[in-house]
Amino acid sequence: MSAPAPTLRSLAKTLGLSRTTVSDALRGSPRVDPATAARVTKAAQEAGYRRNPLAGALMSELRRSRGTAFRGVLAAVDFAEPDRPDSAARFHRELVLGAETRGTELGFKVEKFVVGRAGISVSRLDSILQSRGINGIFLLPVWEEPDLSGLDWSRYAGIYTDYIIERPALHSVCSDHYRSLLAALQRLAALGYRRPGLLLQRHQDERLQYRWGAAFRTFQDTHPVAKPVPPLIVDSFSSTEFCAWFRKHKPDVVLAHRTEAMDWMESCGAEIPATHGFVSLNILTKTRPCAGLDLQPRQLGARGAELLIAQLQRNEPGIPEWPSTTTIPARWVDGPTLRAAPSVTT
């Protein structure tokens, strides 16, 4: 039978000190003599003691609220990035709303912080979170490579709501772009489309580790009726470049994030949906009614909150040894930009 986990009470008894002194020493309180603090820290390390941040937060909250229901706090951290597309703002709001809704159900509230040029610095964020006893970080997607390595991660558990993060490497939750695009292409084939074309901004595919492009090429390589159209992957969108590609390769349906592509298609003579179809890769970005993929940011936010709260409840702060990625497939949304399904005769 394994020995019970060390507690403040057992450490205090072993050291011949009060629980308050041991607690203050482990929190770095200046009220404790440095020599005593060093002795407490050494004993805690040797015993394998792990501080539970939720327990401390609970006691602080109960003292402030005089016994009302405890609500933990998660920090939703966003980066102020001038190059990020404006359309990302709505996706971020939906992520936070999902986290807030699920967090409330689990006894946590979400507070938002902005890091970067228009917000606070990473070091300032670290000070705020420590002073307020916030130990869960819900990190929103970042257009460039995010860097939160300046935080003291021995104190925090974190979840990143996008694909791989390296500084530091955290658990992630994100949409399953690869699976979702394959399913969309299969649906289009069932509707009779034979020449799907893909329009992407290069950086948008790169930051997802090329999952959009990989799914499109895999479909072309493996689907028996697909007639390959090379994807149009550009640094920035241009009607001139799009129209040249559209006229040359003659796709019968276009998949893209930018619904302006429908205007460009129509300027080339397309009639949607009579002669050509269109599918949005993220219906949150649409500027006119269309069929497309709902990447389900509220569900992603809710799942991210669940995963983050579970880490806090298991007392697992720090950078995980083996970061994992949880994915949720997109939901298909019908729209007026595709032809009707062929009727089935019996």
List beta partners, residue 293.
332
Separation of alpha carbons 325 and 79, rounded Å: 21
Task: Find, among 131, 118, 107, 110, the residue nearest to 28 by Cα.
Answer: 131
| pLDDT at 141 > cutoff 90 | yes
Separation of alpha carbons 212 and 195, rounded Å: 17
- pLDDT digits over 243-290, tens only? 999 999 999 999 999 999 999 999 999 999 999 999 999 999 999 999
Confirm whether 7 is domain-assigned. Answer: yes
- pLDDT digits over 68-112, tens only? 455 799 999 999 988 888 888 999 999 999 999 999 999 999 999
| pLDDT at 61 > cutoff 70 | no
Q: What does 153-207 look like in DSSP terms, one character per residue?
A: TTS-EEEESSS---TT--EEEEE-HHHHHHHHHHHHHHTT---EEEEEEHHHHHT
- pLDDT digits over 19-60, tens only? 777 777 776 666 777 788 788 778 777 777 666 554 555 444
**95 and 166 inside one domain:** yes
Confirm whether 64 is domain-assigned. Answer: no
Structure tokens at 282: 């993220």
Structure tokens at 115: 């890091």
**204 and 166 inside one domain:** no
Supply the range of the domain harboring residue 93: 72-175+298-329
**81 and 151 inside one domain:** yes
Confirm whether 322 is domain-assigned. Answer: yes
Task: Find, among 81, 180, 85, 157, the residue nearest to 323 by Cα.
Answer: 157
- pLDDT digits over 85-95, tens only? 888 899 999 99
Separation of alpha carbons 264 and 147, rounded Å: 38
- pLDDT digits over 197-223, tens only? 999 999 999 999 999 999 999 999 998
**124 and 15 inside one domain:** no
Per the structure, how many domains does the chain have? 3
Cα–chain center distance at 145: 13
